[in-house]
Each structure stands twice: as C-alpha cells, then as structure tokens.
Amino acid sequence: RAVGVPRAHESAALHVLGQATYTDDIPELQGTVHGALGLSGKAHARIVSTDFARVRAAAGVLAVYAVGDIPGLNDCGPIIHDDPVFADGVVMYVGQPIFIVVAETHDQARRAARLADIVYEELPAILTPQAAKAAQSYVLPPMRLARGEFRQAFEQAPHKVKGELYVGGQEHFYLEGQIAYAVPKEDKGMLVLCSTQHPSEMQHVVAHALGLHSHNIVVECRRMGGGFGGKESQSALWCAAAAIAAFKLKRPVKLRADRDDDMLVTGKRHCFHYDYEVGYDGDGRIAAARVDMVTRAGYSADLSGPVATRAVCHFDNTYYLSDVEILAACGKTNTQSNTAFRGFGGPQGAIAIEYVIDEIARNLGRDPLDIRRLNFYGGEGRNVTPYGQVVIDNVIGALVAELEASSDYRARREDVAAFNRASPVLRKGLALTPVKFGIAFNVTHLNQAGALVHVYVDGSILVNHGGTEMGQGINTKVMQVVAHELGVDMAHVRATATDTSKVANTSATAASTGADLNGKAAQDAARQIRERLAAYAVKLYGGDVEAVRFAADMVFVNGHEVRFPELVQKAYLARVQLWSDGYYATPGLHWDPVTMSGNPFSYFVYGAAVSEVVVDTLTGEFKLLRADVLYDAGRSLNPAIDIGQVEGAFIQGMGWMTTEELWWNEGGKLMTHAPSTYKIPGVSDCPDDFRVALYNNSNATDSIHRSKAVGEPPLLLPFSVFFAIRDAVSSVGGHKVNPPLNAPATSEEILNAIAAVEAAVAQGA
Ligand code: MTE
Ligand code: LUZ
Ligand code: MOS
C-alpha cells in the first residue's frame, strides 16, 4: 500500500540540502529588474499631491508606476472588489502601497522607494474593532445566527455569566515572504512565478490589472516557504504590481518584500472582541448562550465575510447549544486588511465558548473537564448544530476519554494542586480542551478540484494537480494516492509545479481541503488510466477486467504477471491513451447565507489536548512543561506528515495564544513589524515532553481513502495552553475568582490578570 503509511515529505531531502527552489531561487533571466513598493505613512488621508522626482533621480531607477499607469483595473481584492493595487486619491492604512519603483537592483529599488514626496491631508482614522462598532463602520453587513429562544432561556436560567474578551490577531510569519516574478512573453503573454496558495486567483487578478484575458496569463508555483492563509488572497498585490511593471517596461520584474514591508503591507489573522451572556444550571449545563463578536477587518473586505461566517459556525465547538444567538460584525478599520489564517475564523469562534465554560466551572467549583463533557454533542436530540447541520460522526466523548486516561489527567490535577500549595511564586496550571472543526470551504462552489496524470512510455508517472505545496505535504499525499491507484511504489511518481495552464479554474489550497479535493481528483485521473490498462491487459491475456490487480509494480491478470512498465510499453504501441485528467466536486454541501443555515461541511474532525504549564507570578513568564495531543485524522494518508502538521499547528497556535502581540501606535502604524518586536515561538518554547498521537478512526464520509483533513484544526489545540495559564493564575486567588485574561497571554497580560485576582481577593471576593 502506498497510502496509510508514513512517508517522508517528497522534498525533504531537497529542503535539508538547500536545493529546493523557492521563487527567489529560480535562475533570473537576462534583463531582470527589481521592484519595491512605496508605502503610505498615514492611516487615513487624502493624497493632495505626489512628487516622484527624487525617486526617479535615485541610482539605478528605471521607472515609477502609480495608479494612473495601470493598463486595466486597479483591483486585487477577492470576492468583493474593494482592494486597490495602488492607492487612488486616499490612503486607508499605514503601509498601503502607493507606487512601485523599478531599479537595476533590489537594494536600489528599496532605497528609492523611500524618497517620494507625498503631501497628505489627514482624515479621522478608526483603529480598533470596538471603535468601528461604535461608529457602525463595517466592510460588510453584520451577520446573525439564532436558534431557539435565547432571551427567554437566559432569563429562566438559575445561573448566569456575562463578560467580555479580547483575542488578538496574528502575523503569518511564513519564512518565505511574499514574492512575484513577472516575465513578459510574446503577444501580450505574461508568466508569473510566485509564492501563492491560489494560482488561479493570481491569474485573474493579473489579467484584470493588465486589461487582458485569463488565457494570456500563466501562473506557476512549485512551492511556498509557508502560506498559512497569508498567500490565499494577499499574494495578489505583489503579482499585480510586478506584472504591471513588467508589462510597461517589457522586462522581467521581480518584486520581493523584505520582512518589514511584508508585515506592514499584508493583513493578518483577525482579532476579535466578544461580549457574552450565558445561562446555565447547577450542574453546569448551558441553557442559553449569546455572543456578540466584532472583528478588525481592516480597510477592505478581503475574505472577512467567510472568516466571520466560519467564526459563527464554530462558536458551538464540541458543545450542543439549544438556545443560542451568535452575532458577528466585520469592523472597517484603518489598518491592514485582515485575511485567511490557519483556522479561518474557526479558532476565534471556538475560543469564546471555551472561555465561558472555563468561567462556569470556576463559578461552580468544578473541574472544567467535567463541564465540557456535560455539554458535549451527543445523546437524544443533541446532535444538530445551530446552523442546522446534523453531526453524524461525533467521536469527541470517546476521544477525550482516551486522552484523559493516556495523559493521566486526574492524577496530574492532584499533583498540580499539591505543587501550588507548596509554591507561592511558581504556579502550575493544567487544562484539557477539545476541538471540533468543519471541513469544506464554507463558500460551496469552491469545493472542486482537478488533476492531470501522465504515464510515460517508460512507466514513470507525472502528476499535476490544482493544489499548492506550502510545506504541508500535499504533493506527497497526492503522489501516494496515484501510486496506490496504479499499484506502483511512490518513487515512480513525480509531482510538478502548480500551473494554471495545466489545471484550470482551481480553488485556493485552503480550508484544509487540499489533499481531500486534489487527492480525489488525482485518484479519478489515475483510475481512468488503470481501467484502460486493465482492459488492454485482458485483451492480451484474457480473464475478467474486474479481477486485474495492480500491486508491487506488477500487474496480475488471468494467472499472468506483467511488470507495470512492460504493460505500459505494450499499451502505448497498441495506441491506448496513457494520460488522463481527473475532477472532483464534494457532494452534499449547501449553505443559505441569508438564514445562515444548511450543510456547509463535508464532515467534522475532532481532537483534544492536555497542557501543563508553570507560571512565574513575579515576572509573568510561563513555560509549557508537557502537552498531550490526540487528533482524529481518520484513516491517515500519511501518519508521519499528519503528526508533523499537528505539532506545527499546536506550536503556531500557542504563539497566537501567548506571545505574538500586534501593536499599532496612536497614528495607526504597526510597530511590531519585525522579529525584534514580534515574538513567535522558538525551539526552546516547545515543550520538552510533547506526546502527539492520532486517534484510531475512519471517516464516516467517503473522503479520499477515508482520511480526514489535518491542516488547520490542530491550531485550536493550544487553547489548552491558554487555559492552563488561566488555571495557574486562578490558583493565586484559590480558584475563587475568574482571572480576566485576554489573548495573547503575554507576560504583561498575565501580571495584570494576577493583579486583578489579588485585588478581587483583597476586596473579599
Ligand atoms: N503547513 C505548512 N508547513 N505550511 C503552511 O503554510 N498552511 C496551513 C496548513 N498547514 C500550512 C501548513 C493552512 S492555513 C492550510 S488551509 C492547510 O495547510 C492547507 O493545506 P491542505 O489543505 O493541503 O492540508
Ligand atoms: N471558506 C473557508 C473560504 O472555509 N475557508 C477558506 O479558506 C475560504 N477561502 C475563500 C473563501 N471561502
Ligand atoms: Mo488556510 S487559512 O485555509 O489557507
């Protein structure tokens, strides 16, 4: 079997040898010149005048292009076309591109970009989601999902909890920054080599910006050094700007962002502010829940609509909520336009209910795990989500029970309490948090994919599909699927760069669906070739087509054994078509955006994590001591890759929850725009004891070999780190007070929470 086995990433050797080519490593063509963007210095202002004389006079400069120089449309936004390539009359955030300067070298372009003389007339700026809400400033109409009678159920509930929470955004910090290399071709053709999760979208954006058709443009991406959602829509600006310059100059133009520009220009994970009201009974069972969320969308819509929708559809997480009202608004602010980031709003929806459950448990003096379990989906009449999808594959109860036992949760709860009794300064905390995550694009039509499989006369196999490789191992999984289908070792299969001229009209590799969709499409292509080969083999050797077997590089037919390449050779001479396209569209999906109901997801994945931390109550520092994770990857296509995905997402999510703080000054300038001021987890932040396992399960839905998606959902697992920190802080007040802890739980935030707990205790709480 080529599937279901641990196999190394198809480029692992190239990665470690430094031989894997990223866009910037592609040998440059003769005549290549380099671009840099000139950025707005104001959060919101009218551009009174622009003077590029000093830019043009700078060493090596060849040209400057601004809004008036765009041959086609000044638009690089997805869905709702409200994102200009270059500012047109007004600037809407500090960092918004106003022009591109092209010079002989990268360094010359960067130096020149700073020399523009721009006169602004400043306008009032809105910087926070709360301010946007107060001003009713939204990029899209607010959304509402309701079931049952929240208000009535809340009023009747014996216990109530109300409060607010703020959860910050997150910079993608892909190791490879945004980059596009635009190469003009004959007769209005343009080849764009770039780092993107969405080659088809780049093709459309470049065609529109140049006033051309899609068939003029070819977009190619062999791999990214990480995307994490940040290259789903926001690679478009870089592609468009490079292509405009290349088109005008008739020379290849490379536009590579340095880290500060990348962080200043591009959007990030959406931060959220929540107001919540929840009613519950004496056991801790939720009777009524209401959340009012507002997010910082930034200056344009980008993907904020689907992100907010996913937040709404993940507020329930693993819990059945009978009477519920969920509100979400996308605040229009004078900041970067926030975008997709691993989880796509799902984590921001689910964290709110986890915060509430944590409070309920503390109010009742119970272990939060007991309150969580009490509210799980499952049991009579408790399996329909607030948006109307029936949960048919629920395994959360059994999965959590397994993790509770394997992590020794109950005994360690005692140990932590004993430690804290004897330790006034260092405090330990423990938490178990569960995850349920819906798989499919919540925009139904995006759930389709295509692939192309070529079997060459020598028996070697080439696969091309619409998905993009960002390190997650999609090519490895697709190669495994093709190898499995044709009964050959994976070593005989090669995957090539994603290319819009090979597979057309692809969706972004996103929503964790890449391997699901493209794996099915590649399987469809390979199966057609196998069927033709099987029919031909029966012609040669007789027997039943259904009985022909492809395995171990051999074909078994009617008592004969033929080597796969030998059969291929014969089939070629007999004029059998040895290549095929393949296509897949996920069945059973529908969604009504008006009522916010339907069947948006193909299936759910589940998982849970236990984290144990120690907090220094004098400095606010914390250390994750041990993490135990159990993740439901169905029948994993590749357990080695899936465990790697779970580990990576866990650490990335821990960074979001703890150290990664985005901070804008009063003028709206993002001051945390480099690793000197923005702290992602380092290797020493990983727990010494990290136990990641896959839950033994099979997908109830007919997914590719019954596997389940793994890309995004594990990002929610380190909620357990956040709640373990909150547990440690809570111990300072004898677990009598709910610590007001926002995310990220930086040292400063932890110290503030400790001070608040101590103050409440001093007042006799
Ligand atoms: N893993 C790596 N190494 N690099 C990435 O950029 N992106 C994540 C996840 N895992 C990412 C990653 C995101 S946001 C998504 S949606 C999925 O991979 C996309 O890939 P898949 O659908 O093929 O799993
Ligand atoms: N929906 C979704 C989307 O659930 N995930 C995505 O990444 C996405 N991208 C674009 C539009 N809808
Ligand atoms: Mo992932 S945020 O869906 O690219």
Please list the rounded mean pLDDT of every run of 10 residues in the chain (765 residues): 97 98 98 98 98 98 98 95 97 98 98 98 98 98 98 98 98 98 98 98 98 98 98 98 98 98 98 98 98 98 98 98 98 98 98 98 98 96 97 98 98 98 98 98 97 98 98 98 98 98 98 98 98 98 97 97 98 98 98 97 98 98 98 98 98 98 98 97 97 98 98 98 98 97 98 98 86
The hierarchical CATH code for the domain 32-124+172-265 is 3.30.365.10
d(C-alpha 648, C-alpha 519), whole Å: 22
Buried b (16+ CB within 10 A) or exposed e, 135-146: eebbbbebbebe
74 vs 171, 211, 723, CA distance in Å? 26, 10, 45
d(C-alpha 732, C-alpha 754), whole Å: 7
Q: Is residue 483 in contact with ligand 3, taking CB distance under 6 Å?
A: no
For ligand 2, what atom is nearest to the CA of residue 510? 7
Whether residue 300 contacts residue 79, with contact meaning beta carbons closer than 8 Å, is answered with no
User: Ligand 1 pocket check: which of 712, 715, 717 to mutate, most ligand atoms within 8 Å of Cβ?
Assistant: 712
- pLDDT for the residue numbered 12: 98
Ligand nearest to the CA of 471: 1
- pLDDT for the residue numbered 621: 98
Q: Is residue 710 in contact with ligand 3, taking CB distance under 6 Å?
A: no
CA–centroid distance, residue 442 to ligand 3 (Å): 12
The backbone region for 123, taken as left when phi is positive above 0, alpha when psi lies in -120 to 50, beta otherwise, is: beta
d(C-alpha 545, C-alpha 538), whole Å: 6
Phi, psi angles (nearest 5°) of residue 99? -160, 165
ipTM, two decimals: 0.99
User: Ligand 2 pocket check: which of 446, 468, 470, 591 to mutate, most ligand atoms within 8 Å of Cβ?
Assistant: 446
CATH assignment of 448-585, given 3.30.540.10, 3.40.50.1110, 3.30.365.10, 3.40.50.300?
A: 3.30.365.10
Provide the CA 493 distance to its chain's centre, in angstroms. 28
Three-state SS string across 624-659, please? EEEEEEEECCECCCCHHHHHHHHHHHHHHHHHHHHC
d(C-alpha 711, C-alpha 706), whole Å: 16
State if pTM tops 0.90. yes
Domain 32-124+172-265 and domain 126-170+268-377 have a common topology: yes
Q: Degrees (nearest 5) of the Cα angle 540, 542, 547?
A: 115
User: Ligand 1 pocket check: which of 342, 477, 638, 646 to mutate, most ligand atoms within 8 Å of Cβ?
Assistant: 342
Ligand 2 cavity residues, CB under 6 Å:
232, 303, 306, 310, 340, 344, 441-443, 446, 508, 510-511
d(C-alpha 116, C-alpha 52), whole Å: 5
d(C-alpha 262, C-alpha 209), whole Å: 21
Secondary structure (3-state) at 740: coil
CA–centroid distance, residue 495 to ligand 1 (Å): 18
User: Could you confirm whether 712 is annotated as catalytic?
Assistant: yes
Ligand 1 cavity residues, CB under 6 Å:
226-229, 342, 467, 470-472, 474, 509-515, 645, 648, 711-712
d(C-alpha 752, C-alpha 500), whole Å: 52
User: Ligand 1 pocket check: which of 228, 269, 446 to mutate, most ligand atoms within 8 Å of Cβ?
Assistant: 228
d(C-alpha 741, C-alpha 467), whole Å: 39
- Catalytic residue of the set 176, 220, 354, 712: 712
CA–centroid distance, residue 691 to ligand 2 (Å): 31
Q: Is residue 93 in contact with ligand 3, taking CB distance under 6 Å?
A: no
For ligand 1, what atom is nearest to the CA of residue 515? 23
For ligand 3, what atom is nearest to the CA of residue 343? 2
Give the neighbor-by-neighbor strand order of the sheet with 549-551. Answer: 549-551, 554-557, 560-563
Three-state SS string across 245-300, please? HHHHHCCCEEEECCHHHHHHHCCCECCEEEEEEEEECCCCCEEEEEEEEEEEEECC
CA–centroid distance, residue 301 to ligand 1 (Å): 23
For ligand 1, what atom is nearest to the CA of residue 344? 14
Q: Indicate the Cα dihedral angle 757, 759, 760, 762, nearest 10°.
A: 120
- pLDDT for the residue numbered 765: 66
Whether residue 700 contacts residue 392, with contact meaning beta carbons closer than 8 Å, is answered with yes
d(C-alpha 7, C-alpha 609), whole Å: 25
CA–centroid distance, residue 469 to ligand 2 (Å): 17
Buried b (16+ CB within 10 A) or exposed e, 31-55: eebbbbbbbbbbbbbebeebebeeb
Ligand nearest to the CA of 633: 1
Q: Which residue's alpha carbon is nearest to atom 3 within ligand 1?
A: 471
Q: Which residue's alpha carbon is nearest to atom 6 within ligand 2?
A: 511
- pLDDT for the residue numbered 764: 84
Closest Cα partner for 215 from 200, 231, 236?
200
CA–centroid distance, residue 205 to ligand 3 (Å): 19
679 vs 230, 694, 743, CA distance in Å? 18, 30, 14
Query: What fold does the segment set 126-170+268-377 form as a domain?
Result: Aldehyde Oxidoreductase; domain 4 (3.30.365)
Q: Round to the nearest angstrom and report the end-to-end CA distance of the chain.
A: 62
Domain ranges of the chain: 32-124+172-265, 126-170+268-377, 397-440+602-765, 448-585
d(C-alpha 223, C-alpha 547), whole Å: 39
10 vs 13, 368, 469, CA distance in Å? 8, 42, 10
CATH assignment of 397-440+602-765, given 1.10.10.60, 3.40.50.150, 3.40.50.300, 3.30.365.10?
A: 3.30.365.10
d(C-alpha 277, C-alpha 325), whole Å: 10
